[in-house]
Amino acid sequence: MNQELRRKLNRITDILWAGGVTNPVTYIEQISYLIYLKLLDEEESSRELKARLLGRGGNGNGNGQLLFPKQAERYRWGKWRFKSGTELRDFVRDHVFPYMASLVKEEPQIAEYFRDAVLEIVDPNVLKQVIDEIDGIDFAKLGTDVKGDIFEYLLTHLGQSALNGQFRTPRQIRTMMVEMVAPDLGDTIYDPACGTGGFLIDAVEYILAKYSTEPQEVPIYGEEWLEKRGQTIKEAKAEIPTLQTYRKGPGEKIPDWNLLERSIYGNDVSRQMMRIAMMNLVLHGIRKASVKRANTLSDMGGLSDDDLNRRYKVILSNPPFAGVLPRESIRKDLPTNSKKSELLFLGVMMEALAPGGHCAVVVPEGLLFGSTSAHEELRRKLIEDYDLLAVVSLPAGVFKPYAGVKTGVLVFRRPIETTKHTKDTKEKHKGKVWFYEVRADGFDPDKISGGGRPETPERNDIPDLLEKWSDYKKSGFKRISGVKAGTLLPAGSDEPRCWWSPLQAIAENDYNLAAGRYKPQIAEKPPDEDPAQLIRQALTLEQEITQGLERLLKGVEA
């Protein structure tokens, strides 16, 4: 994304801020409405051109009617964007939004996007300025990657606050989790608490890169970070071996784009977040994703029977940790009787995972060692009925400045055949769980600057984790890195980053999954001094104390 486009986006947010739309979630939502209307107008122009070339007279696109047939042309961006004042505001608010929400049969996803949409830019002059700025962006000439970058840039505003508990999972953690589950084309991908859609976008980018002839390697800090350093990615990695990167590509080798689009699923309880996630996906080229507003924990949360019965090959999520639901509202099909949202969300993912599917989820550390019966029972089911592959301990500062809670990541898969016979359980206990302690994630754990943590690319354990995970996975999860839990390492050894524990030992510890519980210890280094000399010094000191006490006693008796 070039500097001119970045300046234009900054002008838009500045105009909205000055006009009283100061909540980042709200102004991103408002911008997304207008961007969507501009995109649909450009798409309609493309349809009309194609129809004329095919001799259809501009009446259709071969797959049905145009989005704006003759009687509805007045709702197109190009027809009303020249209006001004209250006429402009009232027309967009009272006519354009309702028309888009009415397209339930023609374009159900567009209708869902605009359902209950409210224009909150009440100042007509502010609205006019924003529309003029957006009108100057020719989205049709921008690549999908640039359009995606536009929205990602806007979403950085969310990183500066945690409004209503909404904040984004940092890219370094999302990238790590996506690489660990490695989604592929055709896999159904799901986030039951999708927020802005970050995990879904990263999963799509991972697949696009896999199906690209020449994928581009990008630092987690973005391409501008490289430009400021005046380096190529190869030069930066040579200088900083711990630099974390991810891959991007156009995905030109994907044989069926519809297959990719229709494999993306997400829910969020907030309609604002749902809209932002949908726009994020649209600008990344994914128009047909199934993203809907729903409370995935509740029987009355808006999920259809199809939603409840669907199973997914890949699940990625960082669900809300706080909150307790009324017992009467909680879904009856979940593998836990808890009312705590963190246990319920883990239960949702366990239940929704398809046989052979993989899940990576951020959980609060308390879930890993909580001693309530609900905590222990859910962990037992995770161990007994699933393959828990890894527990990744994250640094306490990962979610600063808006949260300091200590978290971890669980990576597990659902066996293709799940049995619960006693002998199978005993056999399963011969398995292992891999633990990795991430002490540094590429950002300063203590400092906050400009609403975020400063980059520390030279301190990042995640590339090492991913390298070891790759080797582990290639071995069919048989050759595991690190030493066995409980091992006493020789004095002077480096503090271990990873280790493993037999499932039997975990079962004997009330299914406690806290990484520190199984961390190998380092023996204390024996003192350098001669033991005999230390004994003589102790005896001399004791004699001096005894003599001092005897003198004190004589003084008292005198």
Distance CA 214, CA 218 (A): 13
The reported pLDDT for the residue numbered 60 is 42
Please indicate whether the domains covering 3-141 and 157-481+494-521 agree at the CATH topology level: no
**245: nearest Cα among 215, 222, 220, 214:** 220
Domain spans of the chain, in order of start: 3-141, 157-481+494-521
CATH of domain 3-141: 1.20.1260.30
Q: What pairing do the DSSP bridges indicate for beta strands 312-317 and 387-393?
A: unpaired
The reported pLDDT for the residue numbered 312 is 98
Asked whether the beta carbons of 358 and 314 are under 8 A apart, the reply is: yes
**415: nearest Cα among 362, 471, 359, 363:** 359
Structure confidence by residue, pLDDT tens digits, 451-479: 678 999 999 999 999 999 999 999 999 89
Question: Rounded to two decimals, what is the model's pTM?
Answer: 0.85
Q: Which fold has domain 157-481+494-521?
A: Rossmann fold (3.40.50)
Taking each helix axis from N to C end, the angle separating 144-155 and 271-283, rounded to the nearest 10 degrees, works out to 150
Q: Considering Cα of 265, then 269, then 270, then 273, what sign does the dihedral take?
A: negative
Q: Considering Cα of 396, then 400, then 401, then 403, what sign does the dihedral take?
A: negative
Please list the pLDDT of the chain residue by residue as tens digits (558 residues): 677 888 888 999 999 999 998 888 888 899 999 999 999 998 888 777 666 666 554 444 334 467 788 888 999 999 999 999 999 999 999 999 999 999 988 888 899 899 999 999 999 999 999 999 999 998 888 877 778 788 778 877 766 444 444 557 889 999 999 999 999 999 999 999 998 899 999 999 999 999 999 999 999 998 889 989 999 999 999 999 999 999 999 999 999 999 999 999 999 998 888 998 998 898 888 988 999 999 999 888 889 999 999 999 999 999 987 777 788 888 888 888 888 889 999 999 999 999 999 999 999 999 999 999 999 999 999 999 999 999 999 998 888 766 678 899 999 999 987 544 444 555 555 689 999 999 999 999 888 776 678 999 999 999 999 999 999 999 999 899 999 998 998 888 889 999 999 999 999 999 999 999 999 998 887 766 777 887 888 899 999 999 888 888 887 776
The 3-state DSSP class for residue 436 equals strand
Q: What is the DSSP string of 358-406?
A: EEEEEEEHHHHH--SHHHHHHHHHHHHHSEEEEEEEPPTTTTTTT----
β-partners of residue 218 are: 246
Residue 95 is classified by DSSP as: I
The reported pLDDT for the residue numbered 459 is 96
User: Which helix or strand (DSSP H or E) is residue 313 part of?
Assistant: strand 312-317
* Total length of the chain: 558
Beta strands (DSSP E) in 79-214 are 189-191
Query: Roughly how many angstroms between the first and final C-alpha of the chain, as a whole number?
Result: 92
Amino acid letter, residue 343: L
Structure confidence by residue, pLDDT tens digits, 514-529: 999 999 998 887 766 7
The reported pLDDT for the residue numbered 411 is 98
Residue 157 is classified by DSSP as: G
| Residue 232 exposed, middle or buried by CB count within 10 Å (0-12, 13-18, 19+) | exposed
Residues 159, 165, 166, CA angle at the centre, nearest 5°? 45
Kindly list the distances between the CA atom of residue 500 and the CA atoms of 174, 389, 468, 483, in Å, as whole numbers in the listed order.
23, 10, 13, 6
